[in-house]
Amino acid sequence: MSLHMSVSSPRHPHPTPSPDPHTAHTAWQAAVPAISFLLFVSLLRSPITAIPPLLGRISADLGMNSVEMGALTSVPVLCFGVLTPVASVVMRRLDLNSSALWTLAIIMAGAIVRSTGTIWAAFLGTAVIAAGMTMGNLIAPMVIARNFRKRTALMTGAYSASINIAVTLSTALAMPLALLIGWQGSAAAWAIIPGMIVGIVWWRVFPPHDGRGQRQDAVTSAPTAAPKLTTISEPAEPSIGNPQPRARIAAWPLAWIMATAFAGHNFAYYSTVGWLPTALHDVAGMGESGAGVASSVFQITAVLGPMLVPLLMSRFQWPMLRIMIVICASWLTLPFGMLAAPNLWFVWCVFGGMAQGAFFSALFTVVIQRTRTPDESRRLTALIQTTGYIVAATGPVLVGHVHDAVGGWTLPFAIIGVGTIVMTVCGIIAVSDTSTPPEK
C-alpha cells in the first residue's frame, strides 16, 4: 500500500499556469519607450568619437598638421559649452518629440558635410554635428523626467552606458570600416545609417507635434488600463506666502571649485580620447586598426564606472570622500602609467576608463546634495558644464601642438596628468565642503 501511495498521482494536481498574453504585451509596451530612448542617446557621441582613429588618414588626405587635427577634435567640446544657451532658446519653439527628430536630422546633415573631403567642410560638418548633439544633451534629461520619472537613477545609468557602448563601437570599428569604404564613408556611416533607423523608431514611438510621450511609469503601474499620455512635469513653484530666496550660484566658491574639477576631468578625458589611438600607434607600435581597437578599452570600461558609485554608496556604505579618492587615484594611473610603463597600456586604460565613467556620476551626485531646489541644481549644473566644456576644448589642441613641437608623448601625457591632478584636488575639496550657496 505504501508503495502504491508513493507513486500514485496527487489528488489535486496543480496545472502549470500558461503565459498571460496581456502581461507580455504590457511588458513590451513598457520596454519600447526605453529602448527607443536609449537608441536615441547612443548617437550623442559616437559620430564624433569615430574621428580620432581616422586622424592619420584624414591628415594625410587633407594635409592637416597636429594642431589642426587637435582643433578638429575640440570643436564638439567647444560647441557643448558655447551653444547650450542657444539650443535652449531654439527648443522653446519646438515640442520635445520634434526636437529629438531635428537633433537627428542635424547630426546626419553635419556628417554628410564633414565627409565631402575638404578642411573647411571637416570643421563645418563637425560643428553642425556638435550643434545637434548639444540639443540632444538637453533633450535626454527632459525625456527621463517626462517618461521615466520613477526610474530616474536606472535610466540615467542606462543613458550613460548606452553612450559609452556606442562610443566603444565607433572607436574600435571606425578604422576597419575605413579600410573597406575609406575614411569619408566610415565617418559618415556612424551618423547616417543609425540616424535614419533611430529617426524612424522615434517617429513611431514618440510622434512629433503632440507635445506628449508615453509615460512608462503609467504603463507598468496600471497594466489593465490604456497607456497614459502625459506632458512634461514641471517643478512645483514655491509658495507665494513663503517665497524662497534666490541663491547666488556664481558667488558661491564651491560652485567654481566643482566647475574646476569638471574642467580638469574633461580636459584630460577629451585629450585622451583625441590622441590615445595615435599615441598607442607610436609608442606601442600598433597598426592603425589595432590602435583604434586598443583605445576602445578606455571607453568600454567606462560603462562600469557609473554603476560602481551607487553600489559603493548603498551596498558598502562608503562615504563620498572615499569614493572620490578612489576614483581620482584610478584616473591618475592612466597618464602617469603611460609615462612610466606604456607597455602596460591595457591596465592603465581599464583603470582610467572606469574612473572617467564614475567621475561624472560622483560629481553630479555632489551637485544634487549641495543644492536645495531644482532651480539651484539647474543653474549650478549649467555653470559647471559650460565652464568644463569650454576649458576641455583647449585640451586636444594643446596636446597636439606640444606633440607636434617636441615630438614623442612624454610631455603630452604629462599635460594630461596635470588635468587629472587639478581634478583630484578640486574634487576632494568639493566633497569635503559643506557650505550652501549664498542668498540674495
Q: What is the 3-state secondary structure (H, E, C) of 382-424?
A: HHHHHHHHHHHCHHHHHHHHHHHHHCCCHHHHHHHHHHHHHHH
pLDDT at 366: 82
Write the pLDDT tens digit of every residue in 19-66.
555 555 566 777 899 999 999 999 999 999 999 989 989 999 999 988
Count how many residues are written for the chain.
440
Q: Percentages helix, strand, coil for the chain, rounded to the nearest 5?
A: 80, 0, 20
Residues 421-432 as b/e (b if ≥16 CB within 10 A, e otherwise) read bbbbebbbbbbe
Angle, CA of 101, 105 and 111, to the nearest 5°: 145
pLDDT for res 8 = 46
Rounded Cα distance between 3 and 365, Å, is 65
Amino acid 255: pLDDT: 95
Residue 6 pLDDT: 43
Identify the band that residue 430 occupies on the pLDDT scale cut at 50, 70 and 90: very high
pLDDT (tens digit, 9 = 90+) per residue, 297-348? 998 898 888 878 878 887 888 998 999 999 999 999 999 999 999 999 999 9
- Which residues does residue 214 pair with via DSSP β-bridges, in sequence order? 229
Q: Decide: 223 and 24 in contact? Cβ < 8 Å.
A: no
Identify which has the larger pLDDT, 248 or 347: 347
The three cell numbers of residue 109 are 546633415
Q: Which of 184, 193, 140, 166 is nearest to 34 (CA)?
A: 140
CATH topology for the 30-227 domain: Growth Hormone; Chain: A; (1.20.1250)
Whether residue 51 contacts residue 58, with contact meaning beta carbons closer than 8 Å, is answered with yes
Higher pLDDT among residues 327 and 172, named by residue: 327
Lowest mean pLDDT among 60-69, 224-233, 343-352: 224-233
- Residues of 309-324 as b/e, b for ≥16 C-beta within 10 angstroms? beebeeeeebebeebb
CATH 1.20.1250.20 fits domain 247-440: yes
User: Where exactly are the structural domains of the chain?
Assistant: 30-227, 247-440
Asked if residues 62 and 119 have their Cβ atoms less than 8 Å apart, the reply is yes
pLDDT in tens, 128-146: 999 999 889 878 877 877 8
Asked if the model's pLDDT at residue 14 lies above 80, the reply is no
261 close to 426: Cβ distance less than 8 angstroms: yes
Reported confidence tier of residue 217, pLDDT bands at 50, 70, 90:
very low
Q: Residue written as cell 560643428?
A: 127
Determine the residue type at 375. D
Residues 6+ apart with CB under 8 A from 268: 331, 335, 356, 395, 416, 417, 419, 420, 423
**CA–CA separation, 356 and 57 (whole Å):** 28
pLDDT score recorded for residue 257 = 96
Amino acid 378: pLDDT: 65
CB of 170 within 8 A of CB of 50? yes
Q: Cell numbers at residue 195, please?
A: 540616424
30-227 and 247-440 agree in CATH topology: yes
Residue 7: the pLDDT is 44
Query: pLDDT tens digits for 399-412?
Result: 999 998 998 999 99
**By three-state DSSP, how is residue 229 classified?**
strand
pLDDT of residue 15: 55
Give the separation between CA 36 and CA 34, rounded to whole angstroms. Answer: 5
CA angle 258, 373, 149 (to 5 degrees): 100
Beta bridge partners of 439: 247
Averaged pLDDT for residues 214-237:
40
> What pLDDT digit, counting tens, does each position of 144-162 carry?
778 887 776 667 767 877 8
* Residue with the larger pLDDT of the pair 218 and 192: 192
Q: Which of 66-75, 311-320, 358-367, 406-415 has the highest mean predicted lDDT (pLDDT)? A: 406-415
